[in-house]
Amino acid sequence: MKKILYYIVFTLWYIISLLPLRVLYVLSDVLYLVLYRIVGYRRRTVWTNIVTAFPEMTAEEHQDVERGFYHFFCDYMVESIKLLTMSEAEIKRRMVFKSAERINEVVESGQSCAIYLGHYCNWEWITSLPLWVTPKAHFGQIYHPLENKDFDKLFLRMRQRFGAKCIAMNNTLREMVRYRKEGQPVVIGYISDQVPMWQNIHHWCNFLHHDTPVLTGTERIARSMNHAVFYMEVSRVKRGYYEVEFKLVTREPDKMPEYAITDRYFQLLEDTIRKRPELWLWSHNRWKRTREKFNRFYETVDGKVIRRRE
């Protein structure tokens, strides 16, 4: 039954993806009315996140961000479906990596790159980066495999079309070690603004007026592998068009203080979000884990987070 559903969804997605984006944006406008006006998809979470992240804004400004987010979120969905059949020429015209030469310089020197990014603008189209940089590097992005293997296969097909391999989060370090043994430079994208599981909370930072538990795995891997660290700043030029700038954080991660790289990433991400707040993924319950609950139920022993005994 699951396979039948997969083929139905794949066929439907494929047919829809053949439509030009100008038509898909009409579909997006209809979808906006459904999700925002009729269904109210995660509106409580979205509203709470926006209000608490920007206490300096007025209620009217909060509402502008909320409406803008739902408009963009619907655009993101149809743009992601379009990725299934989009040509290399079109994706290069719509997703422009303006400073890809910075990545090339690092790779040509023999060093690998760890690239931080967030759920901001269209992160699915970021998978077209291999079209812009030297083929000497192996490209990949870290992802969470879906429980349904058939649908996971669909998303892998979509995300790997332009040469970037999807690496399951649990296999990240193993894959990085393998590439290093093979002498293969890599360029790996890490979307690191998700909320970590309780057992993976090792650091907190001030992010958008919240005491925020953050993922630190990217920094640990960059340090252990001596990867150059970049932040990918994405901006939306207009509907369906994006530009990317690479900001160097460090080429010597082991010389940075502990968690300084992680803190810098969240500072840069907040700066990006404040420019166009409606383009971040506000429907994600980013602040559901608090320091108060963490201190009550967990403790860190020898670098490992364990649950306190009752």
DSSP 77-121: HHHHHHTTT--HHHHHHHEEETTHHHHHHHHHTT--EEEEE-SBS
pLDDT tens-digit map of 105-145: 999 999 999 999 999 999 999 999 999 999 999 999 999 88
pLDDT for position 310: 65
**CA dist 255 to 144, 188, 261, Å?**
30, 21, 10
Residues 6+ apart with CB under 8 A from 228: 106, 111, 112, 113, 114, 248, 250, 251, 253
Task: Give the per-residue pLDDT at 94.
Answer: 98
Coil, helix or strand at residue 308: coil
Would you say residue 55 lies in a domain? no
Structural domain includes residue 39: no
Residue 239 scores a pLDDT above 90: yes
Q: In this model, does residue 166 exceed pLDDT 80? A: yes
* Average pLDDT, rounded, for the chain: 96
Phi, psi of 210 (to 5 degrees): -125, 140
Q: What average pLDDT does range 142-154 have in this prediction?
A: 85
User: Which residue segment(s) compose the domain that 96 sits in?
Assistant: 91-307
Q: What's the total number of domains in the chain?
A: 1
User: Does pLDDT of 46 surpass 70?
Assistant: yes
> What is the residue whose two structure tokens read 């870290």?
142
Can you spell out the DSSP letters for 126-192? GGGGGGTS-TTSEEEEEE---SSHHHHHHHHHHHTTTSEEEEEGGGHHHHHHHHHHTT--EEEEEE-
Going by pLDDT thresholds of 50, 70 and 90, the confidence category of residue 147 is confident
Q: Is residue 58 part of a domain?
A: no
| pLDDT tens, position by position, 247-304 | 999 999 999 999 999 999 999 999 999 999 999 999 999 999 999 999 999 999 988 9
How wide is the angle at C-alpha 309 spanned by C-alphas 308 and 310, nearest 5°? Answer: 115
* Residues making up the chain, counted from first to last: 310
- Tell me, yes or no, whether 183 lies in a domain: yes
Q: What is the CA radius of gyration of the chain?
A: 20
Q: Give a yes or no: residue 57 inside a domain.
A: no
Give the rounded percent of residues in the chain with a pLDDT score beyond 90.
91
Q: Write down the pLDDT at residue 84.
A: 95
Instruction: Check if the beta carbon of residue 243 is closer than 8 Å to that of residue 98.
Output: yes
Looking at 33-58, list the stretches that DSSP marks H as alpha helix, in order from N- to C-terminal side.
Answer: 43-53
Find the helix or strand (DSSP H, E) in which 237 lies: strand 228-238
Above 80 in pLDDT, residue 2? Answer: no
CATH code for the domain in which residue 143 is found: 3.40.1130
Binning pLDDT at 50, 70 and 90, where does residue 3 land?
Answer: confident
Cβ-contact 290, 212 below 8 angstroms: no
Cβ-contact 48, 287 below 8 angstroms: no
**Given pLDDT bands bounded at 50, 70 and 90, which one contains residue 12?**
very high
